[in-house]
Amino acid sequence: MMMKLLEVRARIRALYQKFELYINPVVKFVIALIVFQVINSSLGSDPRFLRFPVVLLLSLVCAFLPSSVMVFLAGVVSLVHIYYVSPMLVILAALIFLVLYLFFIRFTPGLGYVLLAVPILHVLGIPYVVPILMGLFSTPIAILPTSCGVIIYYLFRIIREAAARQVNLAIEDILQLYTDVIDSLFANQLMFMTIAVFAVVILAVYLIRKLKFDYVFEAAIALGSVLNIIAFLIVDLRLDISNQIGTMILGTVGSAVIVYLIYLFRQILDYSAAENVQFEDDNYYYFVKAVPKVDVTVPQFHVKRIGGQEAGEQDEELYEEDYTEDEAYEDNGEYDPETEYEEEYPEDPEQR
């Protein structure tokens, strides 16, 4: 089973290396399409952006631009939907988005997919992929875009609920509406606890995978998943939302499987062939443990036709294969060192 998986991995990686220039835009297009479809399903109010040609055009634009542009366009589409429902709330939402966007661009401009992945995966029920994956392959700086993604997810929920309650507000009620949204956001204990748990999981997985023992990446995924389940169990019991425990456990297990598959396709280490190497220079003596990466060679199949040729043609082909350049040079009569030697020194004594 593992060999089959390794062969599939090798074929996919070879295909990606060969067509990387074309695969990257396609992947970004698919991600952008999912992002805009989720936004439309969550906040979809403006019928202009619910049309599939518009979503398709926005996804095509994001396919050839950096991830930060995708984040910006996703924010713009969200604000348009909020404006269609409540022109009063769009100002507050725009200010919050601007703060989060500038905060994100300043510190983690290359992790735009993290900011989008958290609310998207929240809708799919597997947001725990992000903290485990970021702790495994990134650094603790990934806590910033992960936290911003959590805030955006809960902000969407609060704004949607506030817009549903809004009915012909007077001018003096607008400030109260803004106050209610801000209070609801800062009073949301589940949001802050989710940010704290995600931050702890990222740090724990990062610190574990920095340790030096066999199967450290697998251990980091497993321990991060267990820590995530224990932490959210405490959160759910504290906030009395025990109806989400089963969904949380299943989502964590599914997230761990997804992260492990991503790890397999990125690298596999053969700890059975690990070597301890010692060497020195003028200043230090080094003790190094080298663990080789597992890679398989995809078998190449060549089809060779045997039938369909006469015996004379086969002999002619074999003769042509054995016919070297030196022999062709000799047959041209231009120069043959052996012939010249025989002419100067004949083997027959009488001729000499």
Taking only the tens place, the pLDDT of each residue in 195-237 is 999 999 999 999 998 888 778 888 999 999 999 999 999 998 8
Hunting for tokens 């405490």 — which residue is that? 234
pLDDT band at 268 (very low <50, low <70, confident <90, very high): low
Write down how long the chain is: 352
Cα distances (angstroms) measured from residue 96 to each of 55, 84, 91, 184: 24, 18, 9, 14
pLDDT value of residue 128: 93
Determine the 3-state secondary structure of 85 from DSSP. helix
Task: Name residue, tokens 């397999």.
Answer: 264
Residue 328 predicted with pLDDT over 90: no
In Å, how far are 85, 111, 148, 151 from 78, measured between CA atoms?
Answer: 11, 20, 15, 14
Give the residue-averaged pLDDT of 304-331.
49
pLDDT at 348: 54
Residue 350 has a pLDDT of 54
pLDDT reported for residue 321:
47
- The answer to whether 100 and 148 are in contact (CB under 8 A) is yes
Q: 335: which 2 tokens?
A: 């120069």
Q: How far is CA 296 from CA 5, 11, 301, in A?
A: 10, 10, 15
pTM given for the model: 0.71
**Three-state DSSP class for 278?**
strand
Asked if 90 contacts 155 with a C-beta cutoff of 8 angstroms, the reply is no
pLDDT above 80: residue 340: no
Q: In sequence order, what are the residues at sequence separation of 6 or more whose Cβ sits closer than 8 angstroms to the Cβ of residue 329?
A: 335, 336
Contacts of 59 (CB under 8 A, 6+ apart): 29, 30, 32, 33, 36
- On the question of pLDDT at 263 being above 90, the answer is no
- Look at residue 49 in the predicted model and tell me its pLDDT: 79
